[in-house]
């Protein structure tokens, strides 16, 4: 209980933030507010790991594996992780489950929050690890795997805490019948489902898996984290810190395990199909996600998406273009929230005193995107392409399919001559070319689709999201009634809508404690981070009764 | 909002009761506390319906169907209900959905609570309708389909209300970054999943479906209620009252529809497989329940169960026997919560100063059961057998498989010479005969299983519940450590345990606002009435954002 007492203010404030849903953060997102020394030490800690065995998990193994390649250096990191076969992982999880299950929610919350506090001291190390596995720019790598991820993890702790605190642990139940009274002792126990498998992705190895890990843990489950073989280190550090704090607290560290595998011998399906695994969290391709959902398990998926932008009208065309351009180039569209299809009618964009034509819009967007590349911070904003397949797919799209707006190939990444980069391709198309744009292209590719009118834009965007799912939908519309109509139509197919963004808030960003990430209601995924069912599905309420 | 204002105290008290989980009731369970006049009028209202068309749904139809047979009279009731084909039901539901979806949670809660208040005036009519379709005795029919059902419905309203009130409707979100501040308007909408299909059962046509109906409605879904063709009237009255209050409130009554079918031409699978149906609640056989769960829908099932009793020791042998006997004969074991397999070691039952032998226990239980039959209120407690298949299955079990403890055939039901009755059969068996007792026998059949010791009792009971599921588990044990062990073992497979019941509280009973009905964690069903996920699975939180 000591750790709970240490952190209870953090936890209670987080619980409150969940209800108010206003801006709330515990971990500072701007790396400039940390000291230079911390940054330097983080880099050293990261570099020291090159070509070594990752021993922090405190695991003995005969087989060590590792195949991470830095998208900046295009050389292997040489870090190796212990390989443990699926059945051993399952056995370990089962053997350790009692020690975690039996402690109460306060103790669990205390231990898990302590882990976040310790991760804080390694934010820079994790940032470099993220940068050199995912290809993210430094600032994003720092935010996404550090403060933002830890805020999300705390959100999961808080939601778990408040869900489990909803029912009393024990009451004296009294029923009066006439002159008689019957008494029972009643207890309610949140019994964890069992083993939770978290399958991480290569682009956001921490952000997309840490809420799941903490949600499963706060509800008493044991967790096996299966990282993407090309993005192990960032999440391996998180798992290590979890195991250390568990051990210090007298809990078996096997409550959390890392299941590193290699591309040639994947372990995910073996684990997923193991009957002891009851919960599966997955972020990645639609195909594998559909397979996960088809298993007779409780699954939490985030799959592919084709996020639309509908442009109808705006009060500030330049601010709109700037905001949109930023969203499009951020991490070279390797974000599940990035817009892909921009629908705009042949009339162009309605502004205060007329229209900006369709062609003008295309030109302005091209200029805005290009000007980001020319900025000093531009390359870092775009980052590298995580893997060759993404690059190949984007390169493979012929600009002859429509009107080329932008196609500049790779760009120079300062200090990293060998970086795998690709500037944003922008292709303008007629709305008839659905076979080209009605599919997910993950990576730096954007379609500007010319439609007959805004209703046709809406119709085409809806068709896309119903078939391929959407995590975000960005709309520019200064007409109140039309906005309401668009909102309702997308909400009805379980797609949230963001309107008229300008300035420093971007559609790609979902804030912990406020924005739900993925609605869970359309085919882009079946879970929402962190709504109540993200927690309640991970345990079962059991009510026992005793005659007294 | 008028109806919300009228009922808001009821609703807020119900919300509070959900958290405290102590005894809470709104609808008086004892029919003797109502007037004789109400009872008489209820009987008349019921009898007036014989051989008429049920017009209260206010539906025109070319086809009218009905095949209800009273288990007391063994003659048809002659009541006919409008038949509507599956596609028309779906179309109606879709056309009416907007009118229900758009109103706010307060208004929905007010309307739904008003329905319960009106049902109160028809409790006796519903009781007779329940009695003459399910075969329940009068007192149970009154309680189960009247006050207990309405308390459960109010529980669903309250849980829906509190879930939907968790997130703010709208906030002004402000994020400060350095000297700048960014503001957004954010809204959260609970968007209903779509059409909810509720498939009712023949033994508890109201109690087992009303929580689902109200849970789906409070979360904004439209509902199609598919009653069992042999038990339509009780739930038809509920649906009628819903439609009346909806209409009075300016909502399209097709928000709730009744899908009466006939045995020869069932409609359930057609509805269940319709793509527009997103939610399915089902109570009934394991086979059909597994089919429902296999569909790519959100399902809430309650299937078969083999509920065990483990008898180890007791401080009051006679009180234990009396309590157990009552639980066994109640509605002739046509309750999903009724015990089936009584495990007792060959040593017998440990009491304060020695043991009651196994044979003595069997004799005492037989005497206790028999003496209930001889009581004036005995036959009504047992009620009738709802259908011939239940009777055939029970009759078909050969007493030669073990030692016959009780097998007296049918019994006389006062005032109803033609009643379909069957007294409880009790068969004592060795634990080796698993093929006999490790399966669900629905109806008046009980096995007393002689085991080597209590550990073997536990092992066999666990094997049963893992394979066939359990909704209840009753344990008599005055040893603290052994009780803890049993509790933990059953809780680990998601079965709640009730200890040492004596007096007027029975394992079959689950109280609204306090006891969760079905854990949802074992194969007896995948949902729990009413835990938070019983509500949250029925809608999707959608968060919209607007630049301001």
Q: What is the DSSP string of B127-190?
A: HHHHHHHH---HHHHHHHHTHHHHHHHHHHHHHHHHHHTSS-SEEEEEEEETTEEEEEEEEEEE
Contact assignment for B521 to A503 by CB distance below 8 Å: no
What's residue A358's pLDDT? 97
**pLDDT number for residue A478:** 97
- Shortest CB distance from B537 goes to which of A168, A533, A543? A533
**The overall pTM is greater than 0.90:** yes
Residue that is written with structure tokens 């208004």 in the block: B107
Provide φ and ψ at A317, rounded to 5°.
Answer: -60, -40
Edge-to-edge order in the sheet of strand A403-406: A403-406, A425-430, A445-451, A339-345, A307-311, A474-476, A498-499, B539-547, B180-192, B170-177
Tens of pLDDT, residue by residue over B330-340, are: 999 999 999 99
> For A160-218, how does the pLDDT look when each residue is reduced to its tens digit (9 = 90+)?
999 999 999 999 999 987 788 899 999 999 999 999 999 999 999 999 999 999 999 99
Q: What is the DSSP string of B231-272?
A: S-HHHHHHHHHHHHHHHHTTS-GGGEEE---BTTB--HHHHH
Structure tokens at A371: 């000007």
CATH 3.40.605.10 residue window(s) in chain B: 2-302+527-547
Q: What would the mean pLDDT of B251-259 be, rounded to a whole number?
A: 98
Taking a C-beta distance cutoff of 8 angstroms, is the pair A313, A476 a contact? yes
Q: What are phi and psi of B336, to 5 degrees?
A: -65, -15
Q: In chain A, what residues touch B494 (CB-CB under 8 Å)?
A: 191, 540, 542
CATH architecture of the domain formed by B307-499: 3-Layer(aba) Sandwich (3.40)
The nearest CA of chain B is from the CA of A364 a distance in Å of 22
Sign of the four-CA dihedral B148, B153, B156, B157: negative
How crowded is the C-beta side of B375, counted as CA atoms within 13 Å? Answer: 13
Is residue A1 scored above 80 in pLDDT? no
- Give the three-state DSSP class for B456: helix
Distance of CA B166 to the CA centre of its chain: 27
Closest-CA residue of A relative to B516 is: A543
For A28-67, what is each residue's pLDDT tens digit? Answer: 999 999 999 999 999 999 999 999 999 999 999 999 999 9
Convert the pLDDT of each residue in B267-308 to its tens digit. 999 999 999 999 999 999 999 999 999 999 999 999 999 999
- The domain A2-304+528-547 having CATH identifier 3.40.50.2020: the answer here is no
A-chain residues within 8 Å CB-CB of B19? Answer: 166-168
Q: In the predicted model, what is the mean pLDDT of residues A399-423?
A: 96
CA closest to B178 among chain A residues: A30
Which carries the bigger pLDDT value, residue B400 or residue A176?
A: B400
Q: Closest-CA residue in chain A for B517?
A: A543
Does any CB of chain A come closer than 8 Å to the CB of residue B177? yes
pLDDT band at B25 (very low <50, low <70, confident <90, very high): very high
Distance of CA B20 to the CA centre of its chain: 22
Closest CB to A541 among B184, B500, B528: B528
What does the alpha-carbon distance between residue A355 and residue A362 come to, in Å, rounded to a whole number? 13
Contact assignment for A168 to B21 by CB distance below 8 Å: yes
3-state secondary structure (DSSP) of residue B19: helix
pLDDT for A14 beyond 80: yes
Cβ-proximal residues to A106 (8 Å cutoff; 6+ apart), any chain: A1, A4, A8
Q: Strand pairing partners for A529?
A: A517
Answer yes or no: are the C-beta atoms of B502 and B319 closer than 8 Å: yes
Q: How far apart are CA B35 and CA B255, in angstroms?
A: 34
pLDDT (tens digit per residue) in B62-86: 999 999 999 999 999 999 999 999 9
Residue A181: CB atoms within 10 Å: 10
- In angstroms, the Cα distances linking A474 to A352, A482, A502, A530, B190 are 20, 14, 11, 21, 20
The topology under which CATH files domain B2-302+527-547 is Aldehyde Dehydrogenase; Chain A, domain 1 (3.40.605)
Exposed, middle or buried, A377 (CB in 10 Å: 0-12/13-18/19+)?
A: exposed
Contact criterion met (CB below 8 Å) for A491 and A513: no
Contact B174 A22 (CB under 8 A): yes
What is the pLDDT at residue A460?
98
* 3 state SS of A295: coil
Write b or e for each residue in B97-128: b if 16 or more Cβ atoms lie within 10 A of its Cβ, otherwise e: bebbbebebbbbbbbbbbbbbebbebbbbbbb
Asked, as a colleague might, if the bond just before A421 is cis with ω within 30 of 0, I would say no
The token pair that represents A418 in the structure block: 């060998």
Contacts of B355 (CB under 8 A, 6+ apart): B347, B348, B349
Please write the tens of the pLDDT for every residue from B416-432: 999 999 999 999 999 99
CB-closest option in A22, A176, A495 to B173: A22
Residue B478 and residue B314 in contact, taking contact as beta carbons nearer than 8 Å: yes
Interchain pair A536, B540: CB under 8 A? no
Please judge whether A541 and B547 are an interchain contact, meaning their C-beta atoms are less than 8 angstroms apart: no
H/E element, A233: helix A233-248
Q: Do B20 and A520 touch (CB under 8 A)?
A: no
* Residue A364 per-residue DSSP state: H
On chain B, the residues whose CB falls within 8 A of the CB of A525 are none
pLDDT confidence of B343, banded at 50, 70, 90?
very high
Question: Which residues lie closer than 8 Å to A460 by C-beta, 6 or more apart?
Answer: A341, A343, A431, A434, A438, A449, A451
How crowded is residue B296: how many other Cβ atoms within 10 Å of its Cβ? 9
- Given an 8 Å threshold on Cβ–Cβ distance, is A531 in contact with B547? no
Determine whether domain A307-470+473-499 maps to CATH 3.30.565.10.
no
Give B468-524 pLDDT, tens digit per residue.
Answer: 999 999 999 999 999 999 999 999 999 999 999 999 999 999 999 999 999 999 999
CA dihedral A439, A441, A447, A453 (to 10 degrees): 30
B interface test, pick of A523, A545, A546, A548 with most B CB neighbours within 10 Å: A545
Domain with CATH 3.40.309.10 in chain A: 307-470+473-499
Strand B498-499 with A539-547, pairing? parallel
Indicate where chain A has its CATH 3.40.605.10 domain(s): 2-304+528-547
What pLDDT band is residue A149 in, cutting at 50, 70 and 90? very high
Q: Are B394 and B348 in contact (CB under 8 A)?
A: no
Residue of chain B whose alpha carbon sits nearest to that of A19 = B167
Q: Rounded to an integer, what distance in angstroms lies between the CA atom of residue B197 and that of residue B211?
A: 13
Residues carrying CATH 3.40.309.10, chain B: 307-499
| Shortest CA distance from B527: residue in chain A | A540
Mean pLDDT of A227-248: 98
Residue B1 has pLDDT above 80, yes or no: no
Condensed to tens digits (0 to 9), the pLDDT of residues A374-384 reads: 999 999 999 99
Contact A231, A134 (CB under 8 A): yes
Distance CA A542, CA A189 (A): 5
User: What pLDDT does A28 receive?
Assistant: 96
Q: What is the pLDDT of residues B110-157, one digit of tens each?
A: 999 999 999 999 999 999 999 999 999 999 999 999 999 999 999 999
Contact predicate B134/B71, CB 8 Å? yes
pLDDT digits (tens, 9 = 90+) for A470-526: 999 999 999 999 999 999 999 999 999 999 999 999 999 999 999 999 999 999 999
Q: How far is CA A335 from CA A38, A236, A329, B449, in A?
A: 28, 21, 10, 60
Q: Are strands A195-199 and A298-302 parallel, antiparallel or unpaired?
A: unpaired
CA atoms of B528 and B518, how far apart (whole Å): 5
Contact A519 B500 (CB under 8 A): no
Output the 3-class SS for B84-145: CCHHHHHHHHHHHHHHHHCCCHHHHHHHHHHHHHHHHCCHHHHHHHHHHHHCCCHHHHHHHH
How near does any CA of chain B get to the CA of A18, in Å? 8
Considering only the beta carbons, identify the residue of A163, A180, A492 that sits closest to B191: A492
Closest A-chain CA to B530: A541
Q: What is the pLDDT of residue B178?
A: 78
- Residue A214: phi and psi, rounded to 5, are -75, -30
């Amino acid at each position: 209980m000591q750790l709970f007492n240490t952190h209870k203010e953090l936890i209670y404030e987080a619980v409150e933030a969940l209800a108010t849903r206003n801006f709330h953060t515990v971990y500072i997102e701007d790396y400039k507010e940390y000291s230079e020394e911390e940054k330097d030490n983080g880099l050293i800690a990261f570099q020291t790991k090159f070509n070594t065995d990752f021993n922090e998990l405190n695991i003995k193994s005969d087989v060590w594996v590792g195949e991470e390649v830095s998208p900046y250096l295009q050389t292997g990191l040489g870090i190796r992780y212990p390989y443990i076969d699926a059945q051993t992982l399952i056995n370990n999880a089962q053997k350790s489950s009692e020690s975690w299950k039996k402690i109460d929610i306060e103790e669990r919350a205390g231990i898990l929050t302590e882990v976040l506090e310790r991760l804080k001291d390694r934010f820079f190390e994790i940032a470099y690890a993220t940068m050199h596995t995912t290809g993210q720019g430094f600032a994003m790598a720092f935010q996404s795997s550090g403060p933002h991820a830890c805020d999300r993890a705390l959100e999961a702790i808080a939601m778990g805490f408040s869900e489990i605190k909803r029912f009393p642990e024990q009451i004296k139940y009294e029923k009066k019948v006439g002159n008689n009274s019957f008494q029972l002792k009643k207890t309610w126990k949140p019994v964890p489902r069992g083993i939770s498998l978290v399958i991480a992705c290569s682009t956001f190895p921490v952000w997309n898996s840490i809420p799941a890990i903490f949600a499963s843990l706060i509800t008493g489950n044991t967790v096996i984290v299966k990282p993407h073989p090309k993005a192990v280190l960032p999440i391996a550090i998180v798992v290590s810190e979890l195991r250390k704090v568990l051990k210090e607290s007298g809990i078996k560290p096997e409550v959390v395990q890392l299941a590193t595998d290699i591309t040639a011998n994947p372990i995910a399906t073996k684990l997923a199909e193991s009957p002891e695994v009851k919960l599966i969290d997955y972020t990645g391709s639609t195909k594998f996600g559909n397979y996960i959902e088809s298993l007779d398990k409780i699954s939490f998926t985030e799959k592919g998406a084709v996020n639309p932008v509908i442009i109808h009208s705006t009060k500030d065309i330049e601010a709109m273009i700037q905001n949109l351009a930023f969203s499009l180039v951020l991490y070279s569209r390797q974000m599940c929230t990035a817009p892909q299809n921009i629908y705009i009618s042949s009339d162009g964009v309605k502004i205060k005193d007329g229209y900006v034509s369709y062609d003008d819009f295309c030109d302005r967007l091209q200029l805005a995107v290009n000007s980001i590349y020319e900025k000093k911070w531009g390359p870092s904003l775009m980052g590298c392409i995580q893997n060759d397949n993404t690059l190949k797919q984007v390169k493979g799209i012929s600009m002859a399919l429509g009107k080329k707006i932008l196609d500049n190939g790779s760009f120079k990444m300062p200090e990293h001559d060998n970086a795998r980069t690709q500037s944003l391709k922008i292709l303008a198309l007629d709305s008839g070319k659905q076979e080209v744009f009605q599919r997910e292209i993950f990576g730096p590719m954007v379609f500007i689709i010319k439609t007959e009118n805004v209703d046709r834009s809406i119709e085409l965007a809806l068709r896309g999201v119903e078939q391929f799912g959407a995590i975000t939908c960005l709309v520019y519309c200064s007409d109140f009634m039309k906005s309401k109509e668009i909102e309702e139509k997308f909400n009805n197919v379980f797609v949230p809508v963001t309107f008229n963004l300008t300035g420093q808030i971007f559609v790609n960003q979902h804030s912990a404690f406020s924005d739900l990430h993925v609605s869970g209601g359309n085919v882009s995924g079946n879970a929402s981070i962190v709504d109540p069912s993200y927690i309640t599905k991970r345990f079962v309420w059991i009510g026992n009764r005793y005659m007294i």
